[in-house]
Amino acid sequence: MSSFTHSEDVFSFLAQAQKAGRQTALVAVTETVGGGLRAPGALMGVDEDGGHAGYVSNGCVDADVILNAQQAITDGKTRLLTYGAGSPFLDIRLPCGGKLSMIVVPSPDPDTLRWALSQLEGRRAASLTVSDAGISICNDMPEETHWADDTLHLRIVPKLRLRIAGRGEELIALGKLAAAADFSVVIQSPDDVTLDRAAQSGLTCDRLTTTQSLPALADDEWTAFALMFHDQDWEIPLVQQTLAGPAFWLGAVGSHRTHQVRCEALRDAGVSKEGVRRLKGPIGLIPRTRDASMLAVSTLAEIAGCYKDLEA
């Protein structure tokens, strides 16, 4: 039914299904050995009709997992599933040659689901335990998701939010690609054409009016900020504002020479050496790309890599 991958999407699906009167099950990956696609903590929500959100493999076992989840909904019994090495499912093979284990919990507690969903929607991390006893809120946040003593200790963080300030094709390309990857995207621009195109693509927009009246900063530690300007009059105040917040990544488009000039201007404006070092440039994993679409892929890959470190 759905291919949404983030925990927020899974919890939303389960909460809506329960509200509609459908029985549900929560599936969570507990162990991955070898080249498995999904890491421990990957979630899937399944309803009694086989509708689902999230995924636990690259299509290798998902259909069988959904079937097992429906059976768990019917008999009310938690299941521990293993595919690949040591699996009883001899007719289901993992092409990677590894091992994938998961727990299937029928009828997850609605109050716990709603709490977890409200945490993530409110841009707050959440911690849950998943075991034979069901799902429960955990007051202690683990450093990373792990399986111990027949219990999965889940560390869940909000979706990556990408705030992009600038104008033109580079901004539009990055915003559309990030939205397609199911990230939360906010566009900031003083340019009417850019704002109109962003809005037509379904992106949330903030109009930049003057450098003295910037939109209020709403960044959190799961926010990345990308500057797609070639205009220091906007760049300097926007960087200064962002440095006062907790964004995990800040970067600006431009050549090495452009970035050197930008950094000098920031130092002249009173930004500390540490603050200047936080601003990455040139951005992206592919050096010297001059195509808007390729720059978007290159930049989003760099940002996503830093965000994955926050999820771990």
**Cβ-count burial 224-248 (b if 16+ within 10 Å, e if not):** bbbbbbbeeebbbbbbbbbbeeebb
Provide CATH code, domain 161-311. Answer: 3.40.50.720
Please check whether residue 160 is in contact with residue 224, taking contact to mean a CB–CB distance below 8 angstroms.
Answer: yes
Distances (CA, A) of 307 to 53, 96, 122, 223, 310: 22, 26, 18, 9, 5
Residue 66: predicted pLDDT: 96
Residue position matching structure tokens 């990308």: 226
Distances (CA, A) of 194 to 122, 217, 225, 228: 28, 21, 17, 12
CA distance 200 to 247: 27
Tell me which residue of 272, 276, 244 sits closest to 260, measured CA to CA.
276
Planar angle of CA 5, 6, 11, nearest 5 degrees: 105
Domain range list for the chain: 7-156, 161-311
pLDDT tens string 3-38: 457 999 999 999 999 999 999 999 999 998 876 668
Q: What is the pTM of this model?
A: 0.87
Element (H, E) at 138: none
CA distance 125 to 163: 19
pLDDT in tens, the chain (312 residues): 334 579 999 999 999 999 999 999 999 999 988 766 688 999 999 999 999 999 988 777 889 999 999 999 999 999 999 887 666 665 566 666 678 899 999 999 999 999 999 999 999 999 999 999 999 999 899 989 999 999 999 999 999 999 999 999 999 999 999 999 989 999 999 999 999 999 999 999 999 999 999 999 999 999 999 999 988 999 999 999 999 999 999 999 999 999 999 999 999 999 999 999 999 999 999 888 889 999 999 999 999 999 877 765
- Exposed, middle or buried: residue 122 (CB in 10 Å: 0-12, 13-18, 19+)? exposed
Residue position matching structure tokens 């997850």: 108
Planar angle of CA 42, 45, 46, nearest 5 degrees: 140
Residue 3: predicted pLDDT: 44
